[in-house]
Structure 1
Amino acid sequence: MSEFGLVPLEDRRSVARHVAMGRLRSVGWNLARTILSAVSVAAITLLLWVAWVAWVDNDFIAKGPADVWAYLVGDEDAGENRAEVLDLLGRTLIDSGIGFTAGMAAAIVLAGLIVLSKGIEAAVMPVAMILRAVPLIAMAPVIILIFGRGFSSVAVISGIVVLFPALVTIVFGLRAVSPQMRDVVHVYGGSDWDALRRVAFPSALPSLFAAIRISVPGAITGALIAEWLATGQGIGYGVVSAAGRSQNTKVWALVVVITVVSLVLYTVAQIVESFVLSRFGKEAGRA
């Protein structure tokens, strides 16, 4: 301690370096666990796939990893097959991005309004539950009739899949903030909106990222449904079209590709979550 009871600058720098190294180690461990988890899921899925193919013992229907590999890499026309699959995948990723953005944006806005107003909650939650409960295949004709078969239908159909689980998760996170923290904002003259913006949303970062992780595969599922029922493009339609032509190897290749992409995107969301929470979450002393 110095003459005036202050911590010397060098000691403060040492503490800061120690804290920073601790955060880096925590992020490193989280990253390693995330990647190990993803690899484990992929390995288990592959083993179950091989076991299922062996149990079915039907070369026409059940295609194994070797068949998919040959279709995409080993056969003479693998280049054409791969180009077609990647083209369909690109369309599906665009559609998924549209649905993810629409669903998450709506969920964040509605969650904030619900936390601010009981009346808005009473109006929004029943509609959200109805949208979740009614099968999309039943609502699709009405959605297509209203919005057409393009961008808008993809946003609505895929967004509906994303909206409800994200909304519930984010609302839970926003309401988890302690009343004492809200009171501090109010004591200093802040409004409910200030408390929501400055306290509730930063504290709800773990719930927000949980909603993102849930929504990533949900958006892909919604995009596949929209492509099947509305747009006639992407992997969603490609699987239906190939199945109708008994192109079973193509069906399996498309399913495997979109499954791998979903796992990769989910893992990326987990990695981003680890970095953000290490910087702004409770571990950083900011929540």
Structure 2
Amino acid sequence: MSALTVSAPGGVASAVARGVGKALGNALLVAAIVYVLWVLVVALVDNPFVAKGPGDVAEFLFTGDDATENRTRVMGQLGITLRDAAIGFTAGMVAAVVLAGAIVLSRGVEATVMPVAMVLRAVPLIALAPVIRMIFGRGVSAVAVISGIVVLFPAVVGLVFGLRSSSRQMHDVVQVYGGSERDVLFKVSFPSALPSLFAAIRISVPGAITGALIAEWLATGKGIGYAVVSAAGQSKNNEVWALVIVVTLVSLLLYTLAQVLETFVLARYGKDAGRA
């Protein structure tokens, strides 16, 4: 027996359409707010050498004499950052799911894991980075650890809350039929925690990109995280702004895609699946 609910195809279609429309509307609203804030910051700073506006970035990436070369360089750095973010996201989310399940099954695990997770979250990564580099080097392992730390704590907290919010009556039904605590976890708690899982995913997607940027800056010396620091040190301010704007827009796009995926899965399998 499972807490998973499957809805009718018509209900899924209407729920997904509403959810996708809402996600796209939110994304456009956020993009508009970012644009307005960008223009306001440039106007308030009133320093054309430092503060670059939309026209400057457009010229750097699309209309300038070196636009093709600039765009190729920026996209190459973006590809590295997206790879690093994917590594950190996967490492952090897998660890979060495993730890959340273990915490729900055992109070002893919670007493051991949560203080360590809080310490990792509280200590600035700049302070931890030298230790991480010494232990894991400057490659993929360091990226997985640094970016994974950014993802791990909020995902664990959200998942534990979701796993513990499942119906007590459903627990009793599984146990009456001879199910163990592990059966309850997989057949009741995890399906009931789908909204919390996707909330953790939505938070973790931009978090993984932030973690990747930090890892690139402090450990690997590659990707947008390092390119921004390098360009700023050489006063290549057009490139700095272009890199920042590109990674911001990609973060917003990935967050929106996570929302769309959440809408589809919850419409198909969530507790309110198929409701008008």
Alpha-carbon deviations, 1:235-272, whole Å to 9, x = none? 00000000000001100000000000000000000000
Give 3-state SS (helix, strand or coil) of 2:50's partner.
coil
Q: Take 1:279 and 1:25, find their aligned partners in 2: how far apart are those partners?
A: 11
Q: How many Å separate the matches in 1 of 2:41 and 2:268?
A: 44
Matched, 1:282 2:263: no
Q: In the alignment, which residue of structure 2 is the partner of 1:246?
A: 235
Runs ≥4 residues deviating over 3 A:
none
The alignment's TM-score, normalised by the length of structure 1, stands at 0.92
Out of 196, 201, 206, the position equivalent to 1:207 is 196
Partner of 2:19: 30
Among residues 95, 99, 105, which one is paired with 2:94 in the alignment?
105
Whether the 8 Å contact between 2:82 and 2:209 is mirrored in structure 1 is yes
Paired AA for residue 262 in structure 1 = S
Aligned equivalents of 2:175, 2:14: Cα separation in 1: 37
Partner of 2:224: 235
- CA distance in 2 between partners of 1:85 and 1:36 (Å): 28
1:199-253 Cα deviation digits (max 9, x unpaired): 0000000000000000000000000000000000000000000000000110000
Give the conservation status (yes or no) of the 8 Å contact 2:11–2:273.
no
One-letter amino acid of the structure 1 residue matched with residue 85 of structure 2: S
Q: Which of 105, 111, 116 is 1:122 aligned to?
A: 111
| Residue aligning to 2:146 | 157
The structural deviation recorded for 1:57 is 1.1
Give the Å deviation of 1:124. 0.3
Picking from 261, 265, 271, the partner of 1:272 is 261
How far the C-alpha of 1:52 sits from its partner, in A, is: 1.5
2: CA distance, partners of 1:259 / 1:154: 20
Paired with 1:89 and 1:52, the residues of 2 have a C-alpha distance of: 24
Q: Output the amino acid matched with 1:147.
A: F
Matched, 1:39 2:28: yes
Partner of 2:3: none
1:57 maps to 2:72:
no
Question: Larger RCO: Structure 1 or Structure 2 (Cα < 8 Å, ≥ 6 residues apart)?
Answer: 2
Tell me by how many angstroms 1:283 deviates.
2.1
Distance in 2 between residues matched to 1:230 and 1:21, nearest whole Å: 50
Aligned twin of 1:261: 250
1:192 equivalent in structure 2:
181
Counterpart in 1 of 2:120?
131
Give, as a single letter, the amino acid of the residue that structure 2 aligns with 1:38: A
Could you tell me how far 1:22 is from its partner in structure 2? 3.0
- State the match for 1:220 in structure 2: 209
Identify unmatched segments of 5+ residues in structure 1. 1-15
SS at match of 1:127: helix
Per-residue Cα deviation, 1:163-212 (whole angstroms, up to 9, x for no partner):
00000000000000121111111000000000000000000000000000
Overall identity of the aligned pairs, in %? 67
Displacement after TM superposition at 1:285 (Å): 6.7
Give the one of 135, 156, 164 matched to 1:175.
Answer: 164
CA RMSD of aligned residues (A): 1.4
Between Structure 1 and Structure 2, how many residues are aligned?
270
Amino acid at match of 1:39: L
Q: Distance in 2 between matches of 1:130 and 1:98?
A: 22
AA aligned to 2:197 is L
Q: Following the alignment from structure 1 to structure 2, what is the Cα–Cα distance between the partners of residues 285 and 43?
A: 33
* Structure 2 unpaired stretches of 5+: 1-5
SS of residue matched to 1:283: coil
CA–CA distance in structure 1, aligned partners of residues 154 and 274 of structure 2: 28
SS of the residue corresponding to residue 198 of structure 2 reads helix
Tell me, in whole angstroms, the C-alpha distance in 1 between the residues paired with 2:179 and 2:248: 47
